[in-house]
Amino acid sequence: MALRSSSFALCALNLFISLLILLLEPNRVFGSSRGEHFGFIVDDNIGADAGLCASLVTVHGYKCQEFEVTTDDGYILSVQRITEGRVGGTDSNRQPVLLQHGVLADGATWVLNPPEQSLGMILVDNGFDVWISNSRGTRYSRRHVKLDPKDRNYWDWTWGDLVMYELPAVIDHIFTQTKQKIHYVGHSQGTLIALASFSEGRLIDKVKSAALLCPIAYLSHITTPLGNIAARSLLGEKFMTFGLAEFNPRSKPVLEFVKLLCAAPGVDCYDLLTAITGKNCCLNSSTVQMSLEYEPQPTSTKNLVNLAQMVRIGKVSKYDYGKKSENVAHYGQAKPPEYNMSNIPRNLPLFLSYGGQDALSDVQDVQNLLEDLKFHDIDKLHVQFIKDYAHADFILGVNARDIVYNEIITFFRNSSLLKSV
């Protein structure tokens, strides 16, 4: 495999990265220059614009409301609710659905395609009450009761904190507003945080069913060359050591590193989206172009380090502080705790859809997850495998409606008919 044969190159790369970080003076403020790198719009000055509703939803004739949700650890998130579609009324007993994006993305994920191809709008037009969340640190969710994104402490979190604080806050908010149990749709990291929550018995009382696109739990088989090299060269750890607490994929320092990684043997970054997500079959290039205005979005370097640790150890594990004493201080044990996917309640209706070309949600890793779910109630677990799909097809695929979204709608309708337990 290209990856194995490149381990020499990896050592050289390691040294090079360390030197480069030193040279880059990470604490220096980079100007807000805009320019093209790999088609990404470089934007060091991410700030909220008109909001997600105004930018991508109301322009299509849908009604959309902006909410603020404050988590127990102080992050102020923006949450959108699409209240009315172009067809289908506003009847009061529409069932709420929460759409939770993945890492390095935000809520725009669900509304980037034209309305007839975007899951957000399709669900509304099918009579659902659609809620969209935006995780901490992304374009529309960069406020905190005390901290500023310029502070390192603002970025001191991993996806485990989304399990602890963020999802419960958003779900509680929707539950309070609608007084109904909620259907959940997650993509990528959005599936990981749901699975981890369910495995600890969290949210079960407020979630009616969950559709998981590109399910992520185990990560040890990812095939993305860029991700593998980054994970195995401890790139994230180096970023942290040198003070890059925010991982903004559109900032200059990060783009410089991506360029460097792309120079490694076996990595072809001609098309960066493919290098990261796999060979997507069904994207419309003009939509992809447009989506680069909105994605990718920042996350914390610490979160990426946690994910890289999972790539290396093959377990669904909390962040490893690297020192026994620090793990003990945080967790009361020497090793970071693991989430046990077998503990997901067996009667929770789950729909899993995964793709044969996905470089992040690898087929083997999904099989491992399914192995953990082998005792799940047979009528409550629906699994869909799409041979030609890669990671981005589930979000942006021109045929995702026919192949995936209609299945989700049927699944939600059927699980509403099931007796709740």
Ligand X SMILES: *[C@@H]1O[C@H](CO)[C@@H](O)[C@H](O)[C@H]1NC(C)=O
Residues classed as catalytic? 188, 358, 391
Q: Mark the segment that binds ligand X (CB under 6 A) among 28-36, 283-291, 292-300, 381-389.
A: 283-291
Do 409 and 375 contact (CB within 8 A), yes or no? no
Question: Could you give the C-alpha distances from 132 to 10, 107, 284, in angstroms and in order?
Answer: 40, 6, 23
Minimum CB separation from ligand X for residue 342, in Å? 4
Site string for ligand X, 139-178 (x = CB under 6 A): ----------------------------------------
Phi, psi of 418 (to 5 degrees): -65, 145
Cβ closest to ligand X, residue 58 vs residue 284? 284
Cβ closest to ligand X, residue 93 vs residue 286? 286
Cβ closest to ligand X, residue 182 vs residue 390? 390
Tell which positions 211-230 bind ligand X, by CB under 6 A. Answer: none
Q: Which of 18, 241, 343, 406 binds ligand X (CB under 6 A)?
A: 343
Minimum CB separation from ligand X for residue 335, in Å? 12
Report how far residue 167's alpha carbon sits from residue 186's, in angstroms, rounded to the nearest whole number.
11
Minimum CB separation from ligand X for residue 285, in Å? 8
Cβ closest to ligand X, residue 115 vs residue 296? 115
Our finding on whether 241 is near ligand X (CB under 6 A) is no
Cβ closest to ligand X, residue 5 vs residue 343? 343
Which residue in 173, 169, 172, 141 sits closest to 155, CA to CA?
A: 141
Tell which positions 395-414 bind ligand X, by CB under 6 A. Answer: 398
Question: Could you give the C-alpha distances from 65 to 129, 143, 413, in angstroms and in order?
Answer: 12, 19, 25
Our finding on whether 287 is near ligand X (CB under 6 A) is yes
Cβ closest to ligand X, residue 95 vs residue 117? 117
Our finding on whether 333 is near ligand X (CB under 6 A) is no
Could you give the angle at which helices 225-232 and 7-24 cross, rounded to 10 degrees? 70
# chain residues binding ligand X, by CB under 6 A: 8
Q: Mark the segment that binds ligand X (CB under 6 A) among 96-104, 145-153, 279-287, 377-385.
A: 279-287
Our finding on whether 114 is near ligand X (CB under 6 A) is yes
Q: Mark the segment that binds ligand X (CB under 6 A) among 147-155, 226-234, 250-258, 335-343.
A: 335-343
Tell which positions 379-398 bind ligand X, by CB under 6 A. Answer: 398
Our finding on whether 90 is near ligand X (CB under 6 A) is no
Our finding on whether 340 is near ligand X (CB under 6 A) is yes
Q: Which of 70, 220, 284, 317 binds ligand X (CB under 6 A)?
A: 284
Q: Mark the segment that binds ligand X (CB under 6 A) among 249-257, 280-288, 326-334, 378-386.
A: 280-288
Minimum CB separation from ligand X for residue 309, in Å? 17
Using only C-alpha atoms, what is the Rg of the chain? 20
Q: Mark the segment that binds ligand X (CB under 6 A) among 28-36, 55-63, 138-146, 339-347.
A: 339-347
Minimum CB separation from ligand X for residue 338, in Å? 6
Our finding on whether 342 is near ligand X (CB under 6 A) is yes
HSE-up of 315 (CA within 13 Å, CB side)?
11
Cβ closest to ligand X, residue 178 vs residue 399? 399
Cβ closest to ligand X, residue 176 vs residue 285? 285
Minimum CB separation from ligand X for residue 287, in Å? 5
Q: Mark the segment that binds ligand X (CB under 6 A) among 79-87, 88-96, 259-267, 282-290.
A: 282-290
Residues of this chain that bind ligand X (CB under 6 A): 114, 284, 286-287, 340, 342-343, 398
